[in-house]
Structure 1
């Protein structure tokens, strides 16, 4: 995730060894993208068991989710900048090592405070890990190979979310080695160790040509903005919205304004801001971020709500709740395989088609909830979730590539960084906002079934509203490969 314009272009990266990324190396990188997202969603089916074992309140259980998401979202841009300067493989190794160790600490946490500290630290290491994946792909692959690898990167998030809840449900139900909910954290340890063993042999080292200083003030303001936004939204409902929660939420305005002023002034003075306003001013970037914000918030919210509704509302076991997402994961996998061909055929309009399918799938989910609740099961939910999986795949898989293909090539690294930040922030934001809405509705007179119905219909409306926004994405006049060759010629 190169955060300087021309340092984001592949020819202008230094690499130890031949420039290029082999298939095994790409698999290792994708594991690094898969694990942090899986770790975010696998907790959804684990919370009831954690509450019973560690005697945790509802507010404390929300913190198990929130502390990981907040630290991850707040530091992911800084992680990308550090990778540019210190070496992306080096930061990948540091991030993956820390992530694996903190997964072990989370799995064996004796108390709730120990678990919260381990989860917050795991979010920090995930922020160091994730941005190195896309920036390494950008630096080491070209043309169609780069576009395909970016598509795989997008696919890893959706598959990780579904796999996290399916695997998490099975692990809780199976009570592997008597570990119970702890196995859901420990499952990342052997995978992380294998990836670490393969990294040095398969992943080339790259870094930006010019080492840039980290914008410490910008990083502090960005992190502060995300903390005072996400923490109150996560903790407000279980704490019954005390005054101090509203006071913390109100602080987001001055800190956000301060961040905007600092970034604008730094760029005007010729410094290197964390998030240059000139890139946010790009029409294509704004449209891409709008799609990303709506999609990842909806996606994160639905996955969180679905786990709550099927288990605490409909009474499904963790395994049954996880298996209900099987059709979603299968549909997503099918799209990930066919996605490059469909994208060549439909171009940027593939994202608008995905929004339509997602809206139909969410509406169908609401129909099932209205018709058979509480007798939902993996069978009667299969049809709607296939549509949601197909639609989500058509939006998520090409989003990175389409947006990166439309911004100027020399700004692709920064654009990818902003998209990753949007992804991480909005997954946490979706669980906080959509999850809070569901819990408020389910806790009243409506009940879990009507709450799921209303939330699903709301997400369907979001999908419909995003169709015209997605259609504003247009094919780039200059092919990516041609633009890359121009950059290569200029560098030579």
Structure 2
């Protein structure tokens, strides 16, 4: 398959199958699961490495003598380059072939993982993590784009359900996998296996993709919009960097100056892209994409949802480890029942959405809000804070998350012309990363502003801080419910 030229159709509900699907040939109706699985393995690696470092930081600090700032950059540096390059990475896939760019990104990611494992200094590890993020930023958008290009619309609900499950499990299992690998201390190597594990997986993904994944392209143009890339990279960096660093630094003036400069540069970027399009050129971002209501509303929905899930797992980890004194492995095991529920209801959503459309997302958003609210109620009721007290409410959150987070991916990419799949996928992935960074920045203020261990003991303080954070995420889930209502109206398929 060389290029997909399907044109999107405007329908009343982008989450339901289109009438055109009935006219597809039998050979085009199946889902190429082998190809999809190869691409998803790349996504799992990239997301896992966003979280696996969290549990390794104390060991890394002891081994490399890293300062607090250097330690933070082993996590923040990866997130920054990952987020900043996603749109450009998606566009490169449209221009030069998604399989080719995916393999390139996977190769960069794998080599950088080896460099991380071999790092002898904190600065060397940071540099390798920056390169790792670059590889992830190039690799991940191709996953969404290939699915959009190769999977018929009526099959995408199932595929995005599985993809959402994979992403959720990577998020939840990062600390568990990290704790297991560090605890095993293979060959006395301490923290380094958390990066070595990417070598065999990365090589397998590269080989399988090169052999099994068909090539697809977007636009036939063969020129990258260099001014657009520069403006977008700088504007994105100025927006994301203070979100990552701002809370730890106490939100000094430079963070607000960065936000202001970012807003100005995004305005300049939009103007430049509009002019390039008017002159018949090939802009990095076609602004007309945002005029599509399912895409624009769905994009904000994804941003809000990832602001909830990423930030909440971070403060939950702090509550369990700093508040209750649990090990990283123990904290990871606390997430396991919730991960199982997320897995199950992600699959359920894939079956229900083709029939009931956005009503599935609406139900999920309401249940998600109820899960956060129930956590706050339990923690504020005077019940002793322990894993058993919150596991049921975490499971309720995961039921809602499985029903709304996984279908939201399809809500964004529904009816996207496959020629724009790489660009749209890059924008979607950026929304996920920006949402996560924004959620962490806001919930960090809420959580650490409420976490005062000296007042009544670490466990009591952690319970109160987690309850306040649950109130914030409940409010964000209610906003997500409103956004689901703003998606084009549902109807039965």
- Give yes or no for TM over 0.5: yes
Of 380-389 and 173-182, deviating more is: 173-182
User: 1:444/1:227 Cα in 2 relative to 1: closer, same or farther (>3 Å)?
Assistant: farther
Q: Is the 8 A contact 1:152 1:336 kept in 2?
A: yes
SS in 1 for 2:116: helix
Following TM superposition, by how much is the alpha carbon of 1:283 offset from its aligned partner in structure 2, in angstroms? 2.1
Alignment partner of 2:373 out of 342, 363, 366 = 363
Q: Is the 8 A contact 1:99 1:125 kept in 2?
A: yes
Aligned to 2:243: 233
User: 1:433/1:273 Cα in 2 relative to 1: closer, same or farther (>3 Å)?
Assistant: farther
Aligned to 1:451: 465
- Are 2:284 and 1:274 aligned? yes
Alignment partner of 2:474 out of 460, 465, 477 = 460
Paired residues for 1:270-419 under 5 Å: 270-371=280-381, 375-377=385-387, 379-405=388-414, 414-419=423-428
Aligned to 2:33: 23
Q: Is the 8 A contact 1:328 1:386 kept in 2?
A: yes
Following TM superposition, by how much is the alpha carbon of 1:444 offset from its aligned partner in structure 2, in angstroms? 8.1
User: 1:115/1:327 Cα in 2 relative to 1: closer, same or farther (>3 Å)?
Assistant: same
Unaligned stretches of 5+ residues in structure 1: 10-17, 480-492
Q: Alignment length, in residue pairs?
A: 468
TM-score (norm 2): 0.86
Aligned to 1:157: 167
Following TM superposition, by how much is the alpha carbon of 1:386 offset from its aligned partner in structure 2, in angstroms? 0.7
SS in 1 for 2:119: coil
Aligned to 2:229: 219
Aligned to 1:111: 121
Give the distance between the partners of 1:47 and 1:369, measured in 2 at CA: 28
Following TM superposition, by how much is the alpha carbon of 1:127 offset from its aligned partner in structure 2, in angstroms? 1.0
Q: Superposition RMSD on alpha carbons, in Å?
A: 2.9
Following TM superposition, by how much is the alpha carbon of 1:31 offset from its aligned partner in structure 2, in angstroms? 0.2
Give the distance between the partners of 1:469 and 1:147, measured in 2 at CA: 19
Following TM superposition, by how much is the alpha carbon of 1:25 offset from its aligned partner in structure 2, in angstroms? 2.1
Q: Is the 8 A contact 1:314 1:373 kept in 2?
A: no
Of 413-422 and 334-343, deviating more is: 413-422
Q: Is the 8 A contact 2:158 2:351 kept in 1?
A: no
Alignment partner of 2:74 out of 48, 64, 74 = 64
Following TM superposition, by how much is the alpha carbon of 1:460 offset from its aligned partner in structure 2, in angstroms? 0.6
User: 1:440/1:7 Cα in 2 relative to 1: closer, same or farther (>3 Å)?
Assistant: farther
SS in 1 for 2:216: strand
Unaligned stretches of 5+ residues in structure 2: 9-26, 456-460
Following TM superposition, by how much is the alpha carbon of 1:476 offset from its aligned partner in structure 2, in angstroms? 7.2
SS in 1 for 2:78: helix
User: 1:307/1:201 Cα in 2 relative to 1: closer, same or farther (>3 Å)?
Assistant: same
Give the distance between the partners of 2:139 and 2:204, measured in 1 at CA: 15
Give per-residue Cα distances to partners, 1:200-244, cap 9 Å, x unaligned: 222112223513422222222222122112222222333344444
User: 1:69/1:159 Cα in 2 relative to 1: closer, same or farther (>3 Å)?
Assistant: same
Following TM superposition, by how much is the alpha carbon of 1:72 offset from its aligned partner in structure 2, in angstroms? 0.9
Alignment partner of 2:450 out of 441, 461, 464 = 441
Give the distance between the partners of 2:416 and 2:6, measured in 1 at CA: 15
Aligned to 1:487: none
Give per-residue Cα distances to partners, 1:347-387, cap 9 Å, x unaligned: 1121121111111111222234435687422x332201111
Aligned to 1:172: 182
Following TM superposition, by how much is the alpha carbon of 1:448 offset from its aligned partner in structure 2, in angstroms? 3.0
Give the distance between the partners of 2:399 and 2:42, measured in 1 at CA: 24
SS in 2 for 1:206: coil
Alignment partner of 1:195 out of 205, 228, 234 = 205
SS in 2 for 1:381: helix
Give the distance between the partners of 2:411 and 2:191, measured in 1 at CA: 39
Aligned to 2:258: 248
Q: Is the 8 A contact 2:446 2:468 kept in 1?
A: no
